[in-house]
Structure 1
Amino acid sequence: MRIAWGLAVCAALLGIAACDPAAAPEPAPTSPSSGRVTVPPNMYGADQPKPGQCLDTGNAIVVDCGSPHDAEVVSTGKLTATSMPDEATAATMTMPPCREKLADYLGGQDMDATNLVAMPLWPNEQQWNKGERWLLCTVAEVGADEKPLHRTGSLEDALLSTDMFRYQTCSVSSPSRDARVRRGPCDGPHLGEALPGVISLGKPGSTMPNTDTMNRIASEKCPAVVKKYLGGENKEVSAAWRLPNAESWARGYTNLVCYVEATRPVRVRLRNLGPLTLPS
């Protein structure tokens, strides 16, 4: 079984007036270094996993969601390719529909501001040659190394309430200056916080807007999103944003994500900070 997933932020271009125009594009999501896992023959047969069930992908077994697991099934389907696609092609085929199903499963559109990512699973070469064409759309919570965490409990409807902040992406890198967002704990030193209110730039399969258009939309909308999050204006923070590049757009990442960025690292969330001085 191959594993492919999308990072919560797949941006190439960053944006406040002070952003570094020479920042290198952030590559589209790739598979984790762990590669394949061995899958029992019945993994997608008569006893296939069902939406809501949880998986231990290392052992390729279904487990109770109250036990440690690294994936949760969102939906099931079939691949329609006439020949086995390579990993990049398969990710482009599977990520858009899996992301759409994931948004419904989580109960909101703000997954790209969180550490919750779509992780499609499909047959390996041996299984493909046996005629298997199954697709499992799963959700994983990723850590600072972008690998799935072992967690307990279900993620269904996780974005319906303020529980969303439990999964919020906090960045130890600068969202406006660094080429990549490096995740870190929100109660540890970080510069940026991804904000709810992810802004759609189009639907999967639609034409990607040009960079100027996306930056214009971000510059018009993100400051208001930041002000709402802070509960007012603050001179020690600014609005930043992350935009999709062409490759991530093709994989269904058609949103821009607004960030609040502090002038120095903080160890607590900036939500409702208002005009107060940054906490030490």
Structure 2
Amino acid sequence: MLGAFAGAFALLALSTFTSWPVGAGGSLSGGSTQVNPVLTAQAGDCLNWTRQDLADVAKVDCAAQHLFEVTGVVDISSSHGPQAPFPDDAQWQQVSQEHCTKVSMDFLGGRFDPFGKYTVGPLNPGERLWGEGQRTLRCGLQVAGPAGGLLPAYGSARTQDQSDVYDPGVCLGITEARSVGDPVECAKPHTFEIVGVVPMPPGDYPAPEQQDQLLAGECDRIAKEYTGGADLKARNLVVTWDTRAPESWAAGSRLTNCKVGAVPTDGLVAWEGSVRNPDAPPLTTSNPPQTTTVRQDEPTGAPLHSASNTESSSAAPPSSNPESASSAPTSTTETSASR
């Protein structure tokens, strides 16, 4: 069991190194100072902010929109004494791996999808508080887009299906390197438009070929309904989908996306506009989508084919084969914040 956990720890994506705002909270009447909510946050608490410098960070109900779910509090003073310089990105990544991976895995009960939507990282004290001797970190989970941008989360990660899926109507941008980017408006250049979310059938892990057989027919049906039967070939577009890896299946991830993209030519090709049937009802949801940057102002019902707000029906233990999982990629993203 210890060996399996060690392998799982190496898979945790080391993502966002976010600094506490020094003066968040402002002053209360009577001259007292409001306590920074980060200083009192404990495992299971969720934090949200709208300002880039995190000056308006606040503790919120995890059912509401949030950007950080605390998985544990760690003290790194034993390895970073009073004279230690403020860590750079590579050092923060090491700190995260040494201190945040275990507490985050414990928080999730050992169920973590290394290819899923959640990433692990520390909420660090920033250079000023670090210089004053602060060595306490909040470890936590965040949802990041393909290019590393933070996306809002809804609900505790403990109860969510961790599949890296987006709701119908979301378009994923394109990076300068012609890889998949973060969600953008569909009028802008993008790689894919999500047309549906498909729950995979329960049971043993299906090989990629089996997943392809299932999703080929299902995604074709969903795409025809989503587009109103539009001729995608005439626009040089094709229907495609994502498959699940064994490590994801072992963590209980059972959702996958059907999507439309341009026919590739030596890599991904950007295209503009939406293929959705303009006469179809609005794609809205009674609960905000978990992994889209697009918010609905007047929710009226569940989005077509979307199961992104349901809990996972299976919570299998992490893979016991760390060798097969060791090739999982990690990502390093830094959120700009006041230091």
Q: Normalising by the residue count of structure 1, what TM-score does the alignment of the two structures yield?
A: 0.48
Q: Normalising by the residue count of structure 2, what TM-score does the alignment of the two structures yield?
A: 0.41
Structure with max Cα Rg:
2
